[in-house]
Amino acid sequence: MIRAVIVMNTQGKPRLLKFYEFQPPEKQKELMRSVLAVLSGRPDNVSNFVEADAIFGPGTRLVYKHLATLYFIFVFDNSENELAMLDLIQVFVETMDRCFKNVCELDIVFNFNKMHAIVDEIIFGGQVLETSSEQVMKAVEEIARLEKSSNSISFVPKAVSGRFGR
């Protein structure tokens, strides 16, 4: 299964973190650091795979893609195929590109909840759900549409929401 999806920039600032096995924030930070240490030490034009059992436990591997200022990283165990994971990153990036029209790091920072929606449509509970960026886009757009419509309907007065505020 896929253990984690990580997007971070080349300085190690996380842009999107999704762990399919819970990790407390301090642990996440530590993992980020060690991943960055490994990735920044790798020259260009080498393979996109890294054996990550020192970081994420035995049998884990990670596949990464370095695009502009960002690293896209998928961590997974031996029930997945490296090359296929590399293509899954491609799907992810393609979808974002469709979503934001020429995606840049900033889109990802500001829309990280939307990014989560996209990832959730591609990977579900650590398993690959959908690999066609077109289908993913459709799902995400439908969510956006429904959200908007439900938004306009349920403009509820403060008093109602206040129920939860207390």
What residues numbered 105-164 form the site for other proteins, per CB under 8 A? 105-106, 109-114, 116-117, 120, 124-132, 134-135, 139, 142-143, 146-147, 150-151, 154, 156, 158, 161-162, 164
Candidates 17, 35, 73, 118; binder of other proteins (CB under 8 A) is 17
Binding mask 73-112 for other proteins (x = CB under 8 A): ------x-xxxx-xx--xx------------xxx--xxxx
3-state secondary structure 58-75: CCCEEEEEEECCEEEEEE
Separation between Cα atoms, residue 32 and residue 161, nearest integer Å: 38
Under 8 Å between Cβ of 16 and 70: no
Question: Does 9 participate in binding other proteins (rule CB under 8 A)?
Answer: yes
Question: Per this entry, what is the length of the chain?
Answer: 166
How crowded is residue 38: how many other Cβ atoms within 10 Å of its Cβ?
Answer: 16
Question: Does 67 participate in binding other proteins (rule CB under 8 A)?
Answer: no
How many residues form the binding site for other proteins (CB under 8 A)?
Answer: 76
Indicate the SS3 state at residue 14: strand
Give the nearest distance from C-beta 45 to other proteins in angstroms. 7
